[in-house]
Amino acid sequence: MKNQTFNIKRFITFSRYNLSINIKKYISQLLIIAIGIFCILFIVPASSHSFHSDEWANTFIILGIITLLYAIACSFSYLHRKESRIEYLLKPASTTEKFLFEFLFRFVGALIIFPILFFLMGKLSYPILKVYRILIDWSSASLDPISCINPDYIFHFIFGGQVVGAIIIIGFILLIISILFAGSIVFKKAFLAKTTGFIIAIGALIGIYFYILTQKLRVTTPVIPVKIGKLPINQQYSIFIIIFGLLILCTLFYAFFKLKEKEV
């Protein structure tokens, strides 16, 4: 290969080849997600006497995060079996192309497909819910259609309407995603359990950090050192954005070089 880093034609060829040989696996994973979404969109509204746009939006948020994490957790599944690992690593594509394909296919693909599946499964479950409510004598109960979801509510629910706060929360979610993505490369066996354990351990350390500063040292701004804590809130947020950004980049770079190491 003349260009060992990235070649768009080779990337497209590799993507087509990957999709063609793994199409059954991808369809089965898609069906699992679709069935899971349908079940949740039936069970949750069916267990509530009234279900309005806010409840639909809350369900959308929670299911979206779960779906995204599931999609990322399925990354590089062929690295966890010796036979498929050797075959995959010998494919005529650079490390960058393999890494980029998996990230775009799992992450960007989930972001695009989930809203479509959510609304399709919501449309499908709605008439069934109406019939179910009549059968259990909840015909007078309030059930809004899924199309009534207000995007503004979703934004305010997650981020409190603050753009900077939104960036921080998104950064935190992306950090977890990047750790899961890296874990699928680093760990050969039980990678999901090991990665989850690692995330829990990091969360526990952060929790201990908060506890010591707030309860033992009585620091009123425990998130960052006291001197930085005296800065305006927007500057504190900016520091967090930089920290999250660096952590995400370091995690992805580490995952990339671990993948490259496996090809040597």
CB atoms within 10 A of CB 214: 13
**Residue 222 pLDDT:** 47
- Tell me the C-alpha distance between 249 and 182, whole Å: 11
**Residue 176 pLDDT:** 86
User: How does the average pLDDT of the chain come out, rounded?
Assistant: 77
**pTM score above 0.85:** no
| Distance separating the N- and C-terminal Cα atoms of the chain | 15
Q: Which of 97-101, 191-195, 233-237 has the lowest mean pLDDT?
A: 233-237
Residue 75 reports pLDDT greater than 50: yes
Long-range contacts of residues 209-214, Cβ cutoff 8 Å, at least 24 apart? none
DSSP 258: H
Degrees (nearest 5) of the Cα angle 66, 111, 240? 75
Nearest to 184 by CA among 87, 104, 70: 70
Nearest to 74 by CA among 184, 178, 193, 199: 184
Q: For residues 226 and 219, is the Cβ–Cβ distance under 8 A?
A: yes
- Tell me the C-alpha distance between 95 and 14, whole Å: 12
| 143 strand-pairing partners | 51
Q: For residues 154 and 65, is the Cβ–Cβ distance under 8 A?
A: no
Phi–psi pair at 51, nearest 5 degrees: -140, 110
Give the pair of three-digit tokens for residue 236.
């504190």
Segment 157-192, tens digit of pLDDT: 665 556 666 677 778 888 888 888 888 888 777 776
Residue 28 reports pLDDT greater than 80: yes
**Per-domain residue ranges of the chain:** 1-160, 162-264
- Tell me the C-alpha distance between 102 and 218, whole Å: 45
